[in-house]
Structure 1
Amino acid sequence: MTDKTNTPISVVGLGLMGTALARAFLKAGHPTTVWNRTAAKADALVAEGARLAPTIGDALGGVTIVCLTDYSAVRELLGDAGLDGATLVNLTSGDSAQARETAAWAEKHGARYLDGAIMAIPSSIGTDEAVILLSGPRPDFDLGALGTVSHLGEDPGLASLYDVAGLTMMWSVLNAWLQGTAMLKTAGVDAATYAPFARQIAAGVADWLPGYAEQIDKGSFPAEVSALETDARAMAHMVEESEALGVNAELPKLIKAMADRAIAAGHGGEQYPVLIREFERPGS
């Protein structure tokens, strides 16, 4: 592993996130080169010690971090830059198919390519709260200046998949909290009062995940806590209560519809994780 303060770093793309990345490398002592289509965006970083690359090709020495609008922009910008021998870490947002396509494209152009995803907001970059996911060849350099870095495996699409899976988890938890908040507001309970209870429930459910994961990986779902058909009756109460309160019932109806399909397929006596069968099935 190269010493983290000696690894030359280039950052291509100086939006809010790219600027935060470059600033974190500077703060950690990396020799840092920056490039952006609009060169004036680099002024503050240059004043802090960064070197402004006059061309995109000049930014490709050392390890090059790419943070652009999309994968098409990455290929368009770098296609004529002379990538042979370059090391690219693409932290541009996209999906797993785009990541794999771009990895093959970069390899064809002679570059070593890692794909990545940033699970953080710009202000948290450079702290332990910033999670940086990488996939592709195992890096022989240290990006720890950015936050908590995890290498997920050789498949370049894994970082994007983990990113989307994490967002799915985030929005599902938030939507469930909003559903409960809307219901309780009808009784005069404000969101701040409900939030600690909701947090306790979310933490309790999180503790179930390792055991449920074991059932999914084994493909066996014994009803150790409750059967899905029992859960479905509680889901019906959730739908009925929402409708009676005049609260949107789309979310609980969706949850119950998936459970009903699993029960109709003969899984009513199994435990809740058997619903993985519904999630694995393409939607109609």
Structure 2
Amino acid sequence: MSSSTGKSVTVLGLGPMGRALAGAFVGAGLPTTVWNRTPGKDRQLVERGAAAARSAEEAVTKSDMVVTCVVNYGASDAILRRDAVTDALHGRTVVNLTADTPDRARDTADWAYRHGIGYLDGAIMTPVTTIGTPAAVFIHSGPEDLYRRHRPVLDQLGGAHTYLGEDIGLAAAYDIALLDIFWTAMAGYAHALAIAKAEGITAQQLAPFAAGIGAILPPIFEEAAQAVDRGDFSGEGNPITSAVSSMAHIVEASEAHGIDAGVMRAAEGLARRVIGRGNGQDGFIRVAEFLTRH
């Protein structure tokens, strides 16, 4: 196996995403060593040319750059912080693409620094199927010199790579914020489908109209972001009192069908608290400012 970068890489963790990462490295011609706690998940990668390590400590000795992608930092800590693995990592760089919180990322960076291990944190913002293609999106944070040094290897994963800054927790912070948008939106969509079904509307009948709602969101996001940064929450044309009225209708219609309206009740409750504070003529995005103070 030849490599255009002249480098090699180790991947720890062979869940669906870990296998996709390792597969992209192998496909790019990088000498790739793989290891997974549960044996057997490396078979197809080995058939394609990856080297299977018998242990995590053996795996990390094979490359200067070690990519970790497991379920959370509890799982990555269980691998990386074993004495034998920690010792083997000395002088190498860990690129942790495991999802968790900013504080957990900073704690792991402190641990790495104490043990002479280079450390970059990152997040994968697109599905497994995008890895190795131009559609993949990665964000990274940590020491810029480390990022620049290992960027040629990271580029073999395809797509766009964005360096966010030296604060090691930035990638996790962006990840948390963006997943907040995704999962609250998906919760809203699931709830909408339940209401629609109760009213005799199929999911496929609703879907084109749901896509229309999605299409109007990007300019709303941009306008709201500018408002938050300016501290200008004008609700001209659509005050939060109007939003509360429509939320109440959703709650009423849901509960009339016996559908749990907890998510919408939570949103309505936040809006009513903003109104109760005397900001009823502001826009809904005033909720963001309210949340940061309470």
How far apart are the structure 1 equivalents of 2:261 and 2:77? 44
Q: Is the 8 A contact 2:228 2:289 kept in 1?
A: no
The one-letter code sitting in structure 2 at the alignment partner of 1:216 is V
User: Aligned with 1:178: secondary structure?
Assistant: helix
Identity %: 39
1:126 aligns with 2:132: yes
CA deviations over 1:59-100 (Å, ceiling 9, x no partner):
332211112343244334333332221011011222111111
CA deviations over 1:47-66 (Å, ceiling 9, x no partner):
21122345534433221111
User: Aligned with 1:24: secondary structure?
Assistant: helix
* Structure 2 counterpart of 1:36: 36
1:261 aligns with 2:279: no
After superposition, where does 1:180-219 map in structure 2 within 5 Å? 180-219=192-231
How far apart are the structure 1 equivalents of 2:273 and 2:191? 23
* Structure 2 counterpart of 1:247: 259
Cα deviation, residue 212, structure 1: 0.8
* Structure 1 counterpart of 2:110: 104
Per the normalisation by structure 1, the TM-score is: 0.88
1:18 aligns with 2:18: yes
CA deviations over 1:84-132 (Å, ceiling 9, x no partner):
2101101122211111100110111111100122234433321233322
Q: Is the 8 A contact 1:6 1:31 kept in 2?
A: no
When residues 233 and 54 of structure 1 are mapped into structure 2, their CA distance, relative to the original with a 3 A threshold, is: closer
* Structure 1 counterpart of 2:50: 50
Number of residue equivalences:
280
The one-letter code sitting in structure 2 at the alignment partner of 1:266 is G
When residues 62 and 219 of structure 1 are mapped into structure 2, their CA distance, relative to the original with a 3 A threshold, is: same
Q: Is the 8 A contact 1:132 1:147 kept in 2?
A: no
How far apart are the structure 1 equivalents of 2:41 and 2:185? 37
The one-letter code sitting in structure 2 at the alignment partner of 1:130 is A
Cα deviation, residue 213, structure 1: 0.5
1:238 aligns with 2:264: no
How far apart are the structure 1 equivalents of 2:140 and 2:4? 17
The one-letter code sitting in structure 1 at the alignment partner of 2:47 is A
* Structure 2 counterpart of 1:89: 95
When residues 191 and 36 of structure 1 are mapped into structure 2, their CA distance, relative to the original with a 3 A threshold, is: closer
The one-letter code sitting in structure 1 at the alignment partner of 2:123 is A
Q: Is the 8 A contact 2:236 2:281 kept in 1?
A: no
When residues 45 and 220 of structure 1 are mapped into structure 2, their CA distance, relative to the original with a 3 A threshold, is: same
Q: Is the 8 A contact 1:135 1:155 kept in 2?
A: yes
* Structure 1 counterpart of 2:27: 27
Per the normalisation by structure 2, the TM-score is: 0.86
Question: Which deviates the most, 195-204 or 181-190?
Answer: 181-190
How far apart are the structure 1 equivalents of 2:235 and 2:37? 58
User: Aligned with 1:205: secondary structure?
Assistant: helix
* Structure 1 counterpart of 2:165: 153
In structure 1, which of residues 70, 74, 77 is the aligned counterpart of residue 76 of structure 2? 74
User: Aligned with 2:278: secondary structure?
Assistant: helix
* Structure 1 counterpart of 2:7: 7
In structure 2, which of residues 140, 155, 161 is the aligned counterpart of residue 144 of structure 1? 155
How far apart are the structure 2 equivalents of 1:270 and 1:35? 54
When residues 44 and 236 of structure 1 are mapped into structure 2, their CA distance, relative to the original with a 3 A threshold, is: closer
Unaligned runs of 5+ in 1: none
Q: Is the 8 A contact 2:244 2:272 kept in 1?
A: yes
The one-letter code sitting in structure 1 at the alignment partner of 2:119 is Y
Cα deviation, residue 137, structure 1: 1.8
Cα deviation, residue 281, structure 1: 4.3
* Structure 1 counterpart of 2:287: 275
In structure 2, which of residues 172, 179, 182 is the aligned counterpart of residue 167 of structure 1? 179
How far apart are the structure 1 equivalents of 2:16 and 2:261? 38
When residues 29 and 268 of structure 1 are mapped into structure 2, their CA distance, relative to the original with a 3 A threshold, is: same
Question: Which deviates the most, 244-253 or 94-103?
Answer: 244-253
How far apart are the structure 1 equivalents of 2:37 and 2:243? 55
